[in-house]
Structure 1
Amino acid sequence: MPKATASPAPIPPANYEAALQELEQLVAAMDAGQLPLDQLLAQYQRGAELLKFCRARLDAVEQQIRVFENGEAQPWSPQ
């Protein structure tokens, strides 16, 4: 029986812009049909992780904007 190997943990993007760029590249490759079937699921999962990362960053910025609009200036720290 073949031994299952765990895939390495995905590397988190450096920032929102890097995540968005990688996500756009994944979408373009998927749309162009450039990915072999065996890689398609892994790339889809990576895309879902990148999308989650981007949404979390956008939510954090949106929350900070609400704080500023309420006159409660507080320092923002990216998570």
Structure 2
Amino acid sequence: MTDTSVSELSFEQAMAELEKVVGQLERGDVALEESIALYERGAELKKRCEAKLKEAEEKVAAITLDGDGNATGLKPAEGL
């Protein structure tokens, strides 16, 4: 587990750390207090990954295509 703020992590960094957290919890070889801290960090990482995926979906949805399937422009997604 790193001390880096979850809000500073890229999607890939958050996903990699989340996989490590899940692995540690599944092995069950950590003390109860550490398990609780890992679970809390994992919940934050999951939320970060979901937010980054939603951002990406909104950006993709903002691209408009013409009849030939060519990108004709971008529409700004709300909040971006």
Do they fold alike, i.e. is TM over 0.5? Answer: yes
The unaligned stretches of length 5 or more in structure 1 are 1-8
**SS of residue paired to 1:34:** coil
Q: Which has the higher contact order (CA 8 A, sep 6+)?
A: 1
Note if 1:11 corresponds to 2:5: yes
In 2, Cα distance between the equivalents of 1:60 and 1:54? Answer: 10
Note if 1:37 corresponds to 2:32: yes
**Aligned equivalent of 1:68, options 43, 63, 70:** 63
In 1, Cα distance between the equivalents of 2:76 and 2:30? Answer: 42
The unaligned stretches of length 5 or more in structure 2 are 66-71
In 2, Cα distance between the equivalents of 1:44 and 1:10? Answer: 16
Deviation >6 Å, runs of 4+: none
Q: CA RMSD in A?
A: 2.5
Would you tell me which structure has more strand in proportion to its own residues?
A: 2
- CA displacement at 1:74 relative to structure 2: 4.5
What does residue 44 of structure 2 align with?
A: 49
In 2, Cα distance between the equivalents of 1:18 and 1:10? Answer: 10
- CA displacement at 1:69 relative to structure 2: 3.9
Instruction: Report the TM-score, using the length of structure 2 for normalisation.
Output: 0.72
Identity %: 30
In 1, Cα distance between the equivalents of 2:25 and 2:50? Answer: 21
